[in-house]
Every structure is written in C-alpha cells, then in structure tokens.
Amino acid sequence: MLPAIFGLSGPVLTDDERAFFRDADPAGYILFGRNVESRAQLRALTDDLRALHGRMRTFICIDQEGGRVARMKPPVWAAYPPGERFDRLWDTAPASAIEAMRANAEALGLDLAEAGISVDCLPLLDVREPGAHDVIGDRALGSEPLRVAALGRATLDGLLRAGVMGVVKHMPGHGRAQADSHKELPTVTASAEELERDLRPFRRLKDAAVAMTAHVRFTAWDDQNPATHSAFVIEEIIRKQIGFDGLLLTDDLDMQALGGTVPDRAARAQAAGCDIALNCWAKMDDMVGIAQALSPMSAKTAERLERALVPTAAFDGPIDMAAQAALVDKRDKLLALVG
C-alpha cells in the first residue's frame, strides 16, 4: 500500500484515475466540493473507491468542519456551526458546551457515514491567539488550552458515535501563525516555554488515532524547516513531548508554505517521519510523481492505519433522520443559551 492520500478530479472516477489508483493502491482518498453533488452520487463514488481495492474499511476523508469550511453544503446537507459558537457557550455553561459539541459532531458524522466517508478532518486543536492570521479564526475551539481539549474530545466522541474517525489538527499548533500557510510559510518565533501552551490540547488528546501536521516553522525547535518537514518536530515534539503514537498525516502538500515540487515535498515529509503524504488536487503528474518518490508503507504506519479504521463503519442504508434531527435540536437549544 502506498503511504499517500489522493484527491479526485470530479464526481466520478475518470478512467485514468481508476487505473492509477488500482495500480498505486494509496492508503486513502480525500473529497472536496468538486466531488460532491447529491447523496446518491456521493455514496456511489465512495462505494466505487472501496470496490477498487476490495476493502470495506477504506480511509476516505473530507474537511467537514462547519462554518466556512464545509464541502457538503445546503440544500442537500445541513449547515453546521463553526467552533467559535461552542467556545462562546462555554463562557456561560461549560458542560452544556461539551454536550452541544458532542451532539453536533454526531449529527454531522451521520451525514458522513451515510455517504460512506470514514474520516473527518476535525477537530482543530489550534489554540486561538489574538492578532494571528484569520486562517484559523472562528474555526478554533477557543483561546484556553484545556477548553480546546475538552471540546475537541467531545468532537471525537460524537463523530465516533456515528462510526466516523476524527483527525486532530494542526499538530503541533497553528494558532500563532501570522500568515496563511495555503499561500506562504508562517514562521512562529515564540519560545519553547511559550509554545507549551500550544501543545497542551494535543497532549490531552494524544490517544487520538489520527493527526495532521502544520505547515508552520517554529524557530524554537527548527529554524530551517516547517513542522511537516522537520524530523526534530515530528520525533521530539509530536512523538515524544506530545506523546502521539497515532497515524500522522501531512497537511495538503500543494500548499505554498512548502518549497520544491510536490513529489519532493512528499518524500521530505516521509523522511521527516510523517506516516502519510496528503495530496488534495488530483493532478495526475503530481500523483504519479508521489508514487515514485515515496518508499513503501512501513509496518508501523500500516498498523496505525488499521487501528484508525477499526471503529469506522459504512452504513448500508439511509440514516435515521429523526435521530439526527433530535441531535440537532438538542444542540440548537443549548447554543440558544447564549443567543
């Protein structure tokens, strides 16, 4: 199996994609708005991906956070609130915020499970910092580390109740970034002592099955490389200081925070210690190059991937709409405590 996750160009597999994916056998796939049209179409697409490899449990992921980051949109699917809404509720009623987040994540997860999506790139554990770039902004679960951890745990729990695995991101923290890593490399100059604050939510959720790196350079740890390409950050900070032993994905390798060709970016990430190279944009030349650049999947990565997929489940039929509506109603009544 190739230690890569690839994107798809449209709502159905092209002949070239089908042939390449069958031969390359990637660890999984990521879906975007261009791949999503209707409930029936999306389920047919994910069924097709599973059938390619004969694996019922396949890593098929999506960025379905709520708020401004949502690939499955109304009117076909419901809109979900951003993380900031639950942070505001916490100011009034912490226990209610946790329960609202758990209900929200389960309702959202039911949409994904019905579509045959096994993994959601959520929750963000980035601690929000005043004055930072708005690329995180209202997506964050707050500016207090333990609050972020508690709401992140509720998110993972809710998703799992729906049979969907969550991904904690962006390890070891994107909250201080003064630039958008989609466009340029952010450099964080905070001291190691100051960065302890950013690590706390990740330490609390170190038992998560899957995490995603940040394309951010932390001068206190490695003044040359972003976390995704830093062996020191991955081994000493993520694996040892945080204690994370789950499946570690890169953030999207197409983002301009990284230099070099996309296949080179993938190879550097693997050499630094990332388990899986994530490439979102379905450019065939890049995907072929990544397949050539990466070493075969290690036994440790294969074990982490298998562990992450064990709790996931693909539904055979439509979701229980009444049960989902009850979860949404519960969430909305709790959120209404703060207007």
Q: Enumerate the active-site residues.
A: 182, 251
Contact indicator for 100, 331 with CB cutoff of 8 Å: yes
Contact indicator for 213, 166 with CB cutoff of 8 Å: no
Contact indicator for 169, 198 with CB cutoff of 8 Å: no
Q: What is the Cα–Cα distance from 118 to 129, expressed in whole angstroms?
A: 31
How many angstroms separate the Cα of 56 from the Cα of each of 121, 248, 313? 20, 22, 8
Q: Report CA 198 to chain centroid distance, whole Å.
A: 18
Radius of gyration of the chain (CA): 19
* Three-class secondary structure assignment of 235-246: HHHHHHHHCCCC
Q: Is 246 left (phi over 0), alpha (psi -120 to 50) or beta?
A: beta
Token pair, residue 280, equals: 């979102």
Burial call 120-135: b when 16+ CB within 10 Å, e when fewer: bbbbbbbbbbeebbeb
What is the side-by-side order of every strand in the sheet holding 277-279?
A: 165-166, 119-120, 59-62, 26-31, 2-7, 277-279
Q: Residue ranges of the alpha helices (H) in 235-298?
A: 262-272, 284-293
Q: What is the Cα–Cα distance from 168 to 202, expressed in whole angstroms?
A: 8
Q: Determine the 3-state secondary structure of 29 from DSSP.
A: strand
Token pair, residue 295, equals: 């070493």
Q: Helices then strands (H, E): number in the chain? A: 11, 13
Q: What is the Cα–Cα distance from 120 to 156, expressed in whole angstroms?
A: 9
